[in-house]
Amino acid sequence: MFKRFRNSNLTDTLSQVANRRRFLQIAGAAMLISLRPANADNDLPVVLSVRVWPAGDYTRVTLESSAQLEYRSFTVKDPERLVLDIDGVDLAGPLSQLAGKVSDGDPYIKLLRAGKNKPGTVRLVFELKVAIKPQVFRLKPIGEYANRLVVDLYPENPADPLLALLKDKQKDEAAAETVVEDKSISKQKDTARQPDSSDVNLPKGAVFTVMIDPGHGGEDPGAIGSKGTHEKAITLAIGKRLRQLINEQPNMRASMTRDADFFVPLADRVKKARKINADLFISIHADAFLTPSARGSSVFALSEGGASSTAAKWLAKKENDADKVGGVSVGGGDPYLKRTLFDLTQTATISDSLKLGKTVLSEIGGINRLHKGDVEQASFAVLKAPDIPSILVETAFISNPEEESKLLDDAYQDKMAKAILTGIKRYIAKNPAAAKMKIASIG
């Protein structure tokens, strides 16, 4: 009997434990349900963030989501609108805050609003300032990004690039005239080899055009330093300084593939240079390497075959992946970037690029340690214009804390821009026949 009593108590105890375990499981499940998004039970996508990148060339709107978004889009006239219907998402979180994402200065979007079109569908309406040619496409997850739905708003009537080039030249010349300083003192402070317009003797009326290409931008931040510095910000800052210096020269002018924080596909960077009949293409970067000890400045030219070093090959692959990070619509591109065989024009262009790279590298060596003493070569997509000598300048390693501090310094940025300009002018002086001098009026 005592034995049966003990067994009875044990049975009761086990029953209580089982009941308590079921209670905890039910409570835990309820807690998990409360923590999950409202539409998580159906594995529907959740919009994680919305980003707007306004620029003169185009405005990009990016919707980042936990899963691929299903959408439909169409345009409406009088007034100009773009309508985007997205299925299976909630009108909450980032989508409910769309209006505040658009600045008054956006050149293409007047207003962006969202509402429920029908059950299970959210409608985004872009009220536009001008007629546009939209490109809407999806991007798969890469790097730090989840799924993305991209809306690019290009104007139906884009600005004339040559007219923009002339305006930049006139603006920078006017700015230079308003600066009052002792030129001789500033020369002594900055560098012993200041740019001097007398270094370049061009035919009367000739204008030498340089396309400056600040690497990365917009959705693509480039390399990121230990202080959180984005490569795209450094390249833009140095690029603007170089443009002003070039435009201050009486027989030179400069344009930029981007003059603000927006993404430009690699093929478009090359196209922009060819549209203005550029004599040179200078791509500016501040990359990172696998270890923070890597340091120094470098200059690269295009390679017909393999890369000149393992590091150069690694860097070229990393830079060529910019389109995947920044986001390019499938089917876009340029035949010059897809070629694997080079004709005689390309071979001659690479030869000129190496000469240009050598003079620029020599000048940069006066302000910073060189990572390599010679111009390196690799298959950089952005350098593949067949008829424009092109180089890629690594101004310093942003992954090196000491060099990251240099890159953030205004004085270093000035010196780098001046060194590049001096290298360009030395190249022109040594190779006048290599340059395609355009007889044009600056106006």
Residues 112 and 185 in one domain: no
The percent helix, strand, coil of the chain (3-state, each to 5) is: 40, 25, 35
At 330 the pLDDT is 64
CB within 8 Å of 35: residues ≥ 6 apart: none
Q: Are 183 and 166 contained in the same domain? A: yes
Burial of residue 18 (CB within 10 Å: 0-12, 13-18, 19+) is exposed
Last residue of one domain, picked from the residues 155, 171, 193: 155
Residue 406 resides in a domain: yes
Within this chain, do residues 148 and 251 fall inside the same structural domain, yes or no? no
Per residue in 306-334, pLDDT (tens digit) is: 777 788 888 888 888 898 999 888 665 55
Residues 53 and 197 in one domain: no
The neighbour count for residue 268, using CB atoms within 10 Å, is 19
- Cα gap 31→264, rounded to integer Å: 45
- The last residue of one of the domains, among 155, 173, 205, is 155
The reply to whether 132 and 54 lie within a common domain is yes
Structural domain includes residue 10: no
Same domain, 178 and 300: yes
Q: Could you read off the pLDDT of 115-163 as tens digits, one per residue?
A: 998 888 999 999 999 999 999 999 999 989 999 999 999 999 998 988 8
Report the distance separating Cα 389 and Cα 354, nearest Å. Answer: 8
Q: Tell me whether residue 95 is in a domain.
A: yes
Same domain for 145 and 199? no
Examine the domain organization and report whether 272 and 312 are in the same domain.
Answer: yes
What is the pLDDT at residue 191? 46
Instruction: Write the pLDDT tens digit of every residue in 281-291.
Output: 999 999 888 88
- Within this chain, do residues 277 and 232 fall inside the same structural domain, yes or no? yes
Residue 19 lies in a domain: no
Residue 133 lies in a domain: yes
Whether residues 402 and 265 fall in one domain: yes
Residue 256 falls inside a structural domain: yes
Q: How does pLDDT run along the chain (443 residues), one tens digit per residue?
A: 434 434 444 445 445 544 554 444 444 433 433 334 444 445 789 999 999 999 999 999 999 999 999 999 999 999 999 999 999 998 888 998 888 899 999 999 999 999 998 888 999 999 999 999 999 999 999 989 999 999 999 999 998 988 888 888 888 888 877 764 555 544 544 444 454 544 566 666 678 999 999 999 999 999 999 999 999 999 999 999 999 999 999 889 999 999 999 999 999 999 999 999 999 999 999 988 888 888 999 999 998 777 777 888 888 888 888 989 998 886 655 555 555 444 556 788 899 999 999 999 999 999 999 998 999 998 889 998 888 999 999 999 999 999 999 999 999 999 999 999 999 999 998 887 655 544 343 34
Residue 371 lies in a domain: yes
Alpha helices in 103-230 (DSSP H): 161-178, 183-190
| 262 in a structural domain | yes
| CB distance 286 to 395 below 8 Å | yes
CA-CA distance, 177 to 197, in Å (whole number)?
A: 15
Please report the pLDDT score of residue 99 as a whole number: 85
Distance CA 382, CA 272 (A): 11
Same domain, 175 and 138: no
Q: What is the CATH number of the domain that holds 79?
A: 2.60.40.3500
0.75 surpassed by pTM:
yes
Domain count, the chain: 2
Tokens 């707007």 correspond to what residue? 52
Residues spanned by the domain of 253 = 161-439
Domain boundary among 106, 137, 155: 155
Judgement on whether residues 205 and 148 belong to the same structural domain of the protein? no
